[in-house]
């Protein structure tokens, strides 16, 4: 039950990051849940995840509702985020659209993705990627397989990552390789 409640707390942190402190319109925090598909993607993922983490009798009872929420969220937002993916607080989706995050993907705090990103299994090794804290995935980036991406990493747009990436770097290309080391992070 504690993990389910934690997911709802994470949703609050996600939405706070989504709304941001730099929004010029003072009433944005009231309107963004209704206008931004990003907010809806975060809401449906966190609610579905919290239902999945309930104790067994409740999980079975809420199972059909969890699937309904997930499917409705997919249709509404164009994103497919598995409730089995374990994503930390301050998750942010810059733009919705064809975003796929497969089950068993793990991501730390401050996970930032743009449109068209795919994170999932490669169909061979049976594993999904693990991301550290403060990872940014550029538009249409593909990260597949049982690999580890360190903390404070930026993956360039249209990159394909199939090997481990260390912390504090920028990786880009097909296949992705380190193009820059980041200092001071």
How many angstroms separate the CA atoms of 136 and 182, rounded? 13
Whether 126 and 103 have beta carbons less than 8 Å apart is answered as no
Residue 113 has φ and ψ, to the nearest 5°, of -125, 150
Q: Name the stretches of the chain with pLDDT < 50.
A: none
Nearest CA among 87, 93, 107, 94 for reference residue 150: 107
How many angstroms separate the CA atoms of 2 and 58, rounded? 13
Written as six digits, the tokens of 15 are: 């939405």
CATH 2.60.40.1180 for domain 2-181, yes or no, is: no
Residue 25: per-residue pLDDT: 54
Residue 37: per-residue pLDDT: 81
Residue 58: per-residue pLDDT: 94
Task: Give the predicted TM-score (pTM) of the model.
Answer: 0.89
Task: For the chain, report the end-to-end CA distance as a whole number of angstroms.
Answer: 35
Read off the DSSP letter of residue 53: T
Written as six digits, the tokens of 147 are: 């690999």
Tell me if residue 112 falls in helix, strand or coil.
Answer: strand
For 74, counting Cβ atoms within 10 Å of its Cβ (0-12 exposed, 13-18 middle, 19+ buried), the class is middle
User: What's CA 4's distance to the chain center, in Å?
Assistant: 17
Whether 116 and 98 have beta carbons less than 8 Å apart is answered as yes
Nearest CA among 9, 17, 97, 19 for reference residue 49: 9
Whether 17 and 90 have beta carbons less than 8 Å apart is answered as yes
C-alpha to C-alpha distances, 76 to 1, 126, 136, nearest whole angstrom: 28, 29, 24
Q: How many CA atoms lie within 13 A of 173 on its CB side?
A: 10
């Amino acid at each position: 039950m504690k993990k389910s409640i934690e997911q709802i707390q994470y949703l609050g942190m996600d939405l706070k990051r989504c709304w941001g402190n730099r929004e010029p319109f003072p009433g944005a925090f009231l309107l963004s849940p209704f206008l931004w598909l990003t907010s809806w993607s975060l809401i449906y993922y966190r609610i579905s995840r919290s239902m999945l983490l309930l104790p067994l009798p409740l999980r079975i009872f809420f199972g059909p509702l969890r699937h309904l929420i997930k499917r409705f969220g997919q249709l509404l937002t164009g994103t497919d985020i598995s409730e089995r993916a374990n994503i930390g607080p301050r998750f942010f989706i810059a733009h919705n659209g064809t975003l796929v995050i497969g089950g068993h993907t793990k991501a730390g705090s401050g996970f930032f993705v743009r449109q068209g990103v795919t994170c999932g299994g490669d169909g061979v090794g049976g594993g999904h990627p693990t991301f550290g804290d403060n990872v940014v995935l550029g538009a249409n980036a593909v990260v597949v397989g049982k690999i580890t991406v360190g903390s404070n990493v930026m993956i360039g747009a249209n990159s394909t990552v199939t090997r481990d990436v260390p912390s504090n770097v920028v990786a880009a290309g097909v296949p992705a390789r380190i193009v820059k080391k980041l200092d001071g992070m």
